[in-house]
């Protein structure tokens, strides 16, 4: 039996890489403030970006140090106040005297920008889910009985997503790429343990010598996993593209074509609703068809390593999980500092990918205490590998 390993952002996080949703959004806000200050230092000003506007309300002596230390206070203020016009306590765009005006503030009038900042401690998949939810709002807005320019709203939303994608690429390119955990090589290259399986697999299925025994479906834009699979019988599919390969562009959008609203979007005469549908982007490379060839070749076990199995990849995951060649699904999970883990959360999201719940119950393997994700930790300048 072959292995189909699904790699998600939790894999990069376990390597100590700051690839969380919050890390990226905070970096983006810092970047825009710094660029503003570099253009015209010692001036009060406000600049509009696609997702939000930034204001520098007074001169700051050591601007870079201030932004590095205090910018996250803006994010925390967003979460506390639960509205989109936020800043440090007492901040204003000029109605408060200079002596009491806080140095920096951020404002967003868009639902997309507001939700991204308000939820700046969420999971990576939230960006794509939030984008799709905003499309749904636009789709149904005209039903409220008032004039509404759906075309303009969709265009603005797609401009905002493009802005995020371009900045995400820049952010990921600057991340360190030198972390390594020995335990992952064993996890990835180890054959399927048939003694753990409940349902029998078809041993008579012809073996396809042209297909890999281990197939890594990498949903990350980074290629951290490549350092563990430099052996002949392993293939890597960068299904969502790469930050370093211009022939495999980043796919950043939504992939839930099973949602009821998707059919309505397909019928819309407004351009742009389908601009970032992942299935259409898959047609730009051979990655999707390479995956199809693998899952059609022989019985396989799915191993989930660091992927949340969220709604933004629902169409693709449903095809993999419910395919007749899928024998079982083995979940690797993360242990938290308080002793809890995220196994149940992953199970809940996997359940949403199944239409046939009988297949769900047969294929998802019981929780395995050996399936805890190894973690990479650094102490000062000394790097420490920890396999939990």
The two tokens of residue 164 are 């995020």
For residue 382, how many C-alpha atoms fall within 13 Å in the half-sphere facing its CB? 3
pLDDT in the model for residue 84: 35
SS3 call for 74: helix
- Tell me if 1 sits within 8 A of 303, measured CB to CB: no
Model pTM score: 0.86
SS3 content of the chain, % helix, strand, coil (to 5): 40, 15, 40
d(CA 251, CA 248): 9
Confidence of residue 97 (pLDDT cuts 50, 70, 90): very low
Please identify which residue in the block is written with the tokens 């959008």: 253
SS3 call for 154: helix
322-344 pLDDT, tens digit each: 999 999 999 999 999 999 999 99
Q: pLDDT at residue 32 above 50?
A: yes
d(CA 345, CA 348): 5
Name 375's bridge partners.
386
Residue among 8, 4, 1 nearest 218 (CA) = 8
Residue among 249, 21, 24, 262 nearest 132 (CA) = 262
Confidence of residue 350 (pLDDT cuts 50, 70, 90): very high
pLDDT in the model for residue 145: 57
- Tell me if 202 sits within 8 A of 2, measured CB to CB: no
Q: What is the DSSP letter of 220?
A: S
Residue among 7, 15, 375 nearest 214 (CA) = 7
Q: pLDDT at residue 89 above 50?
A: no
pLDDT in the model for residue 66: 83
Annotate 235-272 with three-state secondary structure. Answer: EEECCCCCCCCCCCCCCCCECCCCCHHHHHHHHCCCCC
- Across the chain, what does the average pLDDT equal? 83
Q: pLDDT at residue 82 above 60?
A: no
Q: pLDDT at residue 172 above 70?
A: yes
d(CA 295, CA 319): 10
Confidence of residue 230 (pLDDT cuts 50, 70, 90): confident
pLDDT in the model for residue 85: 40
Residue among 353, 355, 364, 371 nearest 326 (CA) = 364
Q: What's the chain's length in residues?
A: 388
- For the beta sheet containing 300-305, the strands, ordered from the edge strand earlier in sequence to the opposite edge, are 234-237, 214-218, 2-7, 300-305, 326-332
Average pLDDT over residues 191-217: 66
Q: pLDDT at residue 296 above 90?
A: yes
Phi-psi region of 272 (alpha: psi -120 to 50; beta: other; left: phi over 0): left
CA 244 → CA 127, 235, 279, distances in Å?
22, 18, 22
% pLDDT > 70, the chain = 82
pLDDT in the model for residue 123: 53
The dihedral through the CA atoms of 383, 343, 348, 300 has a sign that is: positive
The two tokens of residue 344 are 């149940």
d(CA 121, CA 116): 9
- For strands 85-87 and 104-107, give the pairing: antiparallel
Residue among 205, 202, 49 nearest 116 (CA) = 49
The two tokens of residue 322 are 């419910």
Lowest mean pLDDT among 136-140, 173-177, 285-289: 173-177
């Amino acid at each position: 039996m072959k292995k189909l390993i699904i790699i998600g952002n939790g894999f990069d996080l376990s390597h100590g890489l700051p690839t969380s949703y919050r890390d990226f959004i905070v970096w983006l806000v810092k970047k825009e403030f710094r660029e503003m200050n570099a253009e015209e230092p010692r001036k009060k000003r406000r600049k509009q970006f696609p997702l939000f506007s930034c204001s520098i309300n007074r001169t700051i002596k050591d601007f870079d140090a201030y932004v590095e230390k205090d910018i996250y206070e803006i994010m925390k203020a967003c979460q506390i106040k639960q509205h989109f016009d936020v800043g440090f306590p007492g901040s204003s765009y000029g109605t408060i005297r200079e002596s009491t005006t806080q140095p920096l503030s951020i404002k967003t009038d868009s639902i997309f920008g507001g939700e991204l900042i308000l939820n700046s401690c969420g999971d990576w998949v939230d960006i794509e889910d939030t984008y799709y939810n905003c499309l749904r709002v636009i789709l149904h807005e005209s039903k409220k009985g008032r004039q509404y320019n759906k075309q303009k709203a969709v265009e603005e939303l797609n401009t905002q997503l493009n802005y995020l994608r371009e900045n995400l690429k820049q952010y990921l390119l600057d991340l360190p790429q030198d972390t390594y955990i020995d335990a992952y090589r064993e996890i990835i290259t180890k054959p399927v343990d048939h003694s753990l399986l409940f349902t029998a697999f078809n041993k008579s299925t012809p073996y396809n010598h042209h297909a890999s025994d281990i197939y890594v479906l990498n949903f990350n834009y980074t290629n951290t996993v490549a350092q563990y699979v430099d052996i002949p019988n392993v293939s890597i599919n960068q299904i969502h593209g790469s930050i370093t390969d211009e022939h495999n562009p980043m796919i950043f959008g939504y992939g839930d074509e099973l949602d009821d609203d998707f059919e309505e979007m397909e019928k819309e005469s407004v351009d742009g609703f389908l601009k970032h549908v992942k299935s259409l982007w898959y047609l730009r490379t051979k990655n999707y068809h390479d995956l199809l060839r693998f899952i059609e070749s022989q019985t396989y076990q799915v191993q989930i390593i660091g992927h949340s199995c969220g709604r933004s990849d629902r169409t693709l995951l449903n095809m993999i999980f419910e395919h007749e060649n899928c024998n079982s699904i083995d979940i690797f999970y993360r242990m938290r500092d308080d002793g809890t883990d995220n196994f149940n959360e992953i199970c809940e999201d996997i359940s949403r990918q199944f239409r046939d719940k009988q297949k769900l119950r047969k294929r998802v393997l019981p929780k395995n205490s050996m399936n805890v994700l190894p973690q990479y930790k650094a102490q000062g300048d000394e790097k420490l590998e920890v396999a939990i």
